[in-house]
Amino acid sequence: MKRTIKQSLKVSALMGALVLMIPYLAPPKLVLRFLPKDIYEAGKDHPAPSKKKQLLGHLLTAAFCVYFTWAMKDTADRIKRERLGFTEAFKRLAVFMYIIKAFDIIALDQLLCMTSGYYKRFYPETKDCAGWHDRGWNNKKQGARLLLYPVICAAQAYFLTKKGEKAE
């Protein structure tokens, strides 16, 4: 379980680093689409970074996706290798996903986006938007994910711990 926690913290740290770099590397329409609608509308016409920077942004995002996929697969492989039961597998998968989601909600959404004003520095035309004060702007989406995770983890745990049928 310690390795799972470390791995989810690494994924969270890499995701945080990517989110900090992305305003330098991605078009505003891409960056701001995750924020409240009024912020998106106010900043969508902000000049985009150069094509080279955008390419770097895509490469870094792809590298993050590859690492995230590897980390999930590694967690699944360890569940199989250690021959964990359904409950232990479910716990491990849920810990992996919920640590990342907690980081996303607390550090990225609430602290970085809503409290620090980090994105306002890149998109000054959005500084007077009411959306910056709406801390519940994505509660519905986040809540849906939080409710869906146990189902996904249970299904994954089932398939990882299911014993193969033996042919006679």
Over residues 90-149, the pLDDT tens digits come to 999 999 999 999 999 999 988 888 889 899 999 999 988 888 888 877 788 888 889 999
Task: Please report the pLDDT score of residue 25 as a whole number.
Answer: 95
Domain boundaries, the chain: 2-161
Confidence of residue 166 (pLDDT cuts 50, 70, 90): very low
According to the model, what pLDDT value does residue 113 have? 84
Sequential DSSP letters for the chain: -HHHHHHHHHHHHHHHHHHHHHHHHS-HHHHGGGS-HHHHHHHTTSPPPPHHHHHHHHHHHHHHHHHHHHHHHHHHHHHHHTT--HHHHHHHHHHHHHHHHHHIIIIIIIIIIIIS-HHHHH-GGGTT-GGGG-TTTTHHHHHHHHHHHHHHHHHHHHHHHPPPPPP-
